[in-house]
Structure formats: C-alpha cells, structure tokens
C-alpha cells in the first residue's frame, strides 16, 4: 500500500466585495483545531489572505476525504467568525488593495527576491504526496509520471478569472506560477545523483536560495520520503480532490511497477511537454489534449487512455469506486473553470463568489449548482 497525503491552499475573501482579505493569522488561530494545528495541519502561506492545510499520512482515499472535509469545515467556520469566507479557487477572481506578505523569514526573503511576482501570487494549488521506498526509485517514478502532468492539470483547471476579468485560460494559476526561475514540468534525470547534482548547480547559481524554490510541477520532497505532484489547481469539491489524489497514486504505482519490470521509459521532447502544459492550462478539457507523446487528441480519449493505464493500480488500492465515476462526471459537467464560468454568465460576480465559497464549505456537489 503506497501512502498518500494531500495539501490544499485556500483564499480568504470578503463576503461583500469578493476581494482577498488578510485574515490568515486570525483564522488559523480560531479554527478550533487545537494541537492538530500545531502539528502542521494548518499553515500560513506567502500572502496573508491565504491559508494551507495538509492531511496526515493516509492509506485510504476515504481518510483523505475525511481530513479535507474536517479541515475545510473548521476553517470555513473560523473565516466566517472573522468576517471572511474560505474559497477553494486557484486564482483570486477579484483584486482589491495589495495583500501583505506573511511575516515569516522565508516569505520575506521570497518577496525580496521576486518583488511584484511574490505580491501577485494570490493563487492556490493542490499538492499530492505519494510515498517512495527511496530517492533513487523516486527519480525513476518521476521520469515516468511527468508525461501525465498535462492531463492532470487539464482535469484540475479551476482558475479562469483574474482581477475581475476572464483570462481565457482554464488555469490562470499555471502561467502566473510559471514566472519563477525553476518552474514548469521537471526535466528527465539520469538517476538520483543527476537529480542532486543539477539541484546543487541551481543553488550554486544563487538564482534560488534553497530546494524550497524548486517549483517544478513534480519533484522529490525534501521533507518527507515522498514524490510530490504540484501541477494541479485546488479543487472546489473535496471529492474531485480525492479523485485526483487517487489518480496520482495510481500513476505512481504503475510507474513503480514498470520501473521494477524494466519496461521501456516513455519519451517526450521537453519542448513538447512544455507546450502540452501550456495547452492544458489554456483549454482544460474544453478542447484537445496532447497525449504523453505530444500528439493532439480529443480530451475524452486522453482521459480514457489514462483510465486504462491506471486500472490495475486503482483496483489494487481499492480506489476504482472513488475515481472512475468522477472521471465520467468531470467529462459530463466540466472542470471547476467551466463551472465557474457558467455561474458568472447566469448570476454575475456576486453569484460566483457565493458559489465558490459555498462549494468550498460543502465539499461536495450535493447542494446543486
């Protein structure tokens, strides 16, 4: 059983204006999580209008769902007490006054380095950690799953609006975050030694100060014995987050098996992989997707190929029932970006803010749209 953990980042919004509000410290302090919050389940983020949660290490997707629902409920309640609302959208739909940087040393240093880039990071991701037996194996798995990152991004797209306008992107978070020096899809590495040598060279260049600034869309964690997939937008619904977590674990399980069986490693030129990520961020599932070889296909066909690729791994973990029905729902109802756009068309910006914050607190789509 490969273990799994999920991190989610949220915005804190003013319920009247929809603007981000700097309530992070107050919300984290009053969330009522007691000692659990001190153990790292609730954390600050770069900007004071953001908050991050992290589940404990889990073996079952039902555990992931339970923790995310519990944490969202606690933070939503605390946000309302503080005069705000919790929002699981991957980019702030509206802009107000500039949000202060969180006063921790690493965040202040990031602001010194990036200036306006740091101030613009009102964006929220979802990170999935999967346990790896060792770092050498982790690099081998990373080389194999990196080609599926565009598909994961397209499925997760949930950030179409920025500063009150439709960006035309399904995931505006992706190009915003891609402005940092070490970002985008990771390169292929020869082995673990190559991975470490190239990171050492980046740090020696003084372009980045430490491994925390390796903003590749998938990487080895420096804190945990895990592979961390970071390409996805935060999700409106917990069940969609659980679906994506199950897919990531199944991809890692499949890659691990292929590595042990010495199956040929799939190849894709770096420029094609970069183009596939841009295409996925631009269109989500509303157009074609580039497959793992960089060729365009109907989005549904690529998702069908993904499901075939991971079927055995889903069955081994008992995750099929948490993943396959939601893939079908995603194709039927669209991504979070599609749903946000539909709400805006029919109800305007106030309806959109209400929709995002309601979905975040509810955690599922049971309340209807």
**Cβ-based neighbour number of residue 249 at 10 Å:** 28
What is the predicted pLDDT for the residue at 364?
A: 55
Among residues of the chain, what percentage have pLDDT more than 70? 96
Provide the sign of the torsion angle of the four alpha carbons 207, 208, 209, 211, taken in this order.
Answer: negative
Local structure of 54: helix, strand or coil = strand
Strand, helix or coil for residue 181: coil
Question: What is the model's pLDDT at position 34?
Answer: 56
Domains detected in the chain = 4-362 (3.30.590.20)
C-alpha pair distances (Å), 195 with each of 120, 131, 176, 198: 30, 18, 25, 5
Residues of the chain with pLDDT under 50: 36-38, 365-369
**What is the token pair recorded at 348?**
């305007």
Q: Is the pTM of this model over 0.85?
A: yes
Q: Quote the distance between the C-alpha of residue 79 and its chain's center.
A: 22
- Whether residue 126 contacts residue 156, with contact meaning beta carbons closer than 8 Å, is answered with yes
Q: What is the pLDDT of residue 367?
A: 40
pLDDT of residue 40: 74
Q: From residue 363, give the alpha-carbon distance in Å to each of 183, 272, 288.
A: 30, 35, 29
Whole-angstrom distance, CA of residue 249 vs CA of residue 120:
31
Q: Report the pLDDT value the prediction gives residue 1, as an integer from 0 to 100.
A: 81
Measured distance CA(129)–CA(55) in Å, rounded:
10
DSSP 3-state of 253: helix
Residue 366: per-residue pLDDT: 45
CA distances from 232 to 15, 102, 170, 328 (A): 26, 23, 12, 19
Which pLDDT score is estimated for 33? 65
User: Distance between CA atoms of 236 and 156, rounded to whole angstroms?
Assistant: 10
Token readout for 198 is 């190239």
Other beta carbons within 10 Å of 297? 14
Where are the extended beta strands (E) located within the chain? 4-13, 42-44, 50-54, 85-87, 125-131, 161-162, 165-166, 183-184, 215-216, 218-220, 226-233, 288-290, 296-298
Structure-block tokens of residue 92? 């702030």
Cα distance between residue 173 and residue 114, in whole Å: 17
């Amino acid at each position: 059983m490969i273990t799994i953990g999920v991190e989610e980042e949220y915005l804190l919004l003013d319920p009247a204006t929809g603007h981000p509000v700097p309530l992070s410290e107050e919300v984290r302090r009053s969330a009522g999580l007691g000692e659990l919050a001190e153990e790292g389940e609730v954390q600050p983020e770069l900007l004071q209008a953001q908050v991050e949660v992290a589940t404990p290490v889990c073996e079952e997707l039902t555990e992931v769902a339970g923790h995310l629902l519990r944490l969202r409920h606690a933070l939503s309640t605390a946000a309302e007490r503080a005069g705000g609302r919790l929002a699981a959208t991957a980019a702030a739909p509206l802009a107000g006054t500039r949000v202060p940087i969180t006063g921790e040393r690493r965040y202040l240093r990031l602001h010194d380095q990036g200036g306006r880039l740091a101030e613009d990071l009102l964006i929220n991701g979802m990170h999935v950690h999967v346990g790896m037996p060792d770092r050498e194996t982790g690099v081998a798995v990373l080389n194999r799953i990196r080609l599926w990152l565009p598909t994961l991004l397209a499925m997760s797209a949930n950030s179409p609006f920025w500063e009150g306008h439709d960006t035309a992107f399904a995931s505006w978070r992706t190009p915003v975050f891609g402005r940092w020096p070490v970002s985008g899809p990771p390169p292929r590495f020869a082995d673990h030694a190559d991975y470490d040598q190239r990171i050492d060279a980046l740090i020696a260049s003084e372009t980045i100060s430490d491994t925390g600034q390796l903003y590749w869309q998938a990487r080895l964690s420096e804190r945990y014995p895990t592979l961390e997939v970071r390409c996805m937008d935060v999700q409106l619904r917990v069940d969609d987050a659980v679906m994506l977590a199950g897919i990531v674990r199944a991809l890692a399980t499949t890659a691990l098996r292929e590595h042990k069986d010495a199956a040929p490693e799939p190849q894709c030129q770096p420029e094609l992989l970069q183009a596939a990520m841009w295409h996925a961020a631009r269109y989500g599932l509303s157009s074609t997707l580039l497959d793992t070889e960089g060729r365009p296909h109907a989005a549904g066909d690529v998702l069908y190929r993904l499901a075939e690729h991971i079927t055995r791994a889903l069955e081994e973990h008992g995750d099929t029932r948490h993943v396959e029905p939601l893939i079908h729902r995603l194709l039927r109802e669209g991504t979070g970006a599609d749903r946000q756009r539909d709400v805006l068309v029919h109800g305007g910006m106030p309806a959109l803010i209400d929709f995002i914050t309601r979905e975040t607190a509810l955690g599922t789509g049971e309340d209807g749209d």
